[in-house]
A = this chain, B = another copy of it.
Amino acid sequence: MTLLYDRIADQLASAITHGALRPGDRMPSVRGLATQRKVSVATVLQAYVRLEDDGLIEVRPRSGHFVRHRALVPSLAEPRLPRKNLAPARVSVTPGVRALMESMRDPSVVPLGAAQVSPALLPIRQLNRRLAAIAREVQDAGGGYGDVAGLPTLRRQLARRSVDMGLSLHESEIVVTVGAMEGLHLALRATAAPGGAVAVEVPTYFGVLQAIEQLGLKAVEVPAHPRTGMDLDCLEQVLAQRAVKAIVAAPNVSNPLGSIMPDEAKERMVRLSAKYDVPIIEDDVYGELAFDGRPRPALAWDREGRVLLIGSVSKTLAPGYRIGWIIPGRYQEHIERLKYSLTVSTPPLLQMAVAEFLSSGGYDRHLRRLRGQLKAQVERTRDAVCALFPPGTRVTSPSGGFVVWVELPAGVDAFTVQSLALAEGISIAPGPIFSARDRFSNHIRLSCGFPWSARTEHAIETVAGIVGRLAGPNRKTG
């Protein structure tokens, strides 16, 4: 159920996003709007508080509400493409990831490290209420293992939603997994044997590299452009050399770049996959969080079951429900066997709750609002980086998701930044864990999953100060 003030806030947010209200514009007066909408002044005020929280408007004392001015700072250049090196590499990102994991355990740390959405932005209460009702009503639920491929009701909802992605899947083509990570492991195991290599975009999510490391695979790193993703000429070169067993890519909102591959590029990637008979493992975990709405996945161009799409509700609904899925194409039977052995099934009660939530219509409303909130948070973080970091810094302009990727001035060591920041109670993700090679020693990833606050602003200022000191005195001004 959407609350009245939320509906008003959504409409105003949309007006801001679409440019009907522009930065610096005065917002409608509270009283005027209350009269026009036939609601109370308190309701409008609540809507304005939410828009303020979302970073869309600001209060100027004794003047009223205004659309936030974003162009206060000159925008920095985007990070450069990583150098090409297409030889397969052993992966060893675990030590760096461990430090990150540990920093995430402490709730007092400002969480700029983990790619997690604040629970405050997720409809977790509504979902838990549904779970409570199901656990009360379906008294014997959980008494059996349930179907290895997942609950028919959830698979039906996912199939229904696939239409909005430009697909028309049948529920039988979907296998529910324990989060996206189980799906990724299953996909890698179904397509590549230990010792083999897989192509990844670089920088790439360290979880992909960890899975590759743990399965005894190697990584071939294909440079990725900060706005358009994987370089397909390089990819073709790798495929022509018969060097890899699979391609792992996140065409829709990569992590850490926030890039979206243009549709023509997706189509070309799928054509290459068919030409060289190499499957694509499509990480679509952030696909729903593209700021301009849901783009089509590469799977939409696949006619031969060679794309294995992986999704989850961990970034949009409830990470702790551990509900993900894989659309395994021609690998379905193999994937189901691997899944049966690995976890037997995904907890049925949690599947039921998510299925009910997806069927309610509230999910799409929530997604629209979440995209707006995350976009605002990403922009604020980006603005702060542009304003506060020393010259020579570069930063991405993400098309979705909730992380920004920052190239620091040459010579600034990301691990040093990480430990100095942690000493100040701030976690960040160091660049080197996003590659299997010695790359990104002067890059960091900042997460923007938590609502902007004075604490966030102060944390970014602190990190900027650390980077400034490390960049040396001659770089401090500029």
Contact = CB atoms under 8 A, between A and B. Distances in A.
Interface of A: 94, 98, 101, 105, 116, 119, 122, 124-125, 127-129, 131-133, 135-136, 138-148, 178-179, 181-182, 185, 189, 193-195, 207, 210-211, 214, 216, 314, 318-322, 337-338, 340-350
A322 B342 contact: no
Given A341-B214, A344-B322, A131 B135 contact: yes
A124 B142 contact: yes
B131 A131 contact: yes
Question: How many copies of this chain?
Answer: 2
Given A101-B148, A214-B341, A140 B116 contact: no
A131 B134 CA distance: 10
B347 A347 contact: yes
B143 A319 contact: yes
A336 to B, nearest CB: 9
Contact of A128 (B98, B141, B148, B194): B141
Contacts of A344: 179, 181, 319, 322
Given A181-B344, A194-B216, A320-B349, A135 B128 contact: yes
Contact of A94 (B128, B182, B337, B350): B337
A338 B215 CA distance: 10
A341 B124 contact: no
A132 B338 CA distance: 32
14 contacts: A124-B142, A131-B135, A132-B135, A142-B319, A144-B319, A178-B178, A178-B343, A179-B344, A181-B341, A182-B343, A185-B342, A320-B349, A321-B347, A342-B342
A113 to B, nearest CB: 13
Nearest to A133: B132
Contact of A136 (B128, B181, B318): B128
Given A101-B148, A124-B139, A135-B132, A320 B345 contact: yes
A321 B320 CA distance: 14
A287 to B, nearest CB: 19
A341 B141 contact: no
A124 B136 contact: no
A106 to B, nearest CB: 12
B141 A136 contact: no
A49 B320 CA distance: 43
A147 B105 contact: yes
Nearest to A351: B320
A142 B116 contact: no
A144 B119 contact: yes
Nearest to A130: B135
Contacts of A138: 128
A84 to B, nearest CB: 28
A317 to B, nearest CB: 9
A99 to B, nearest CB: 12
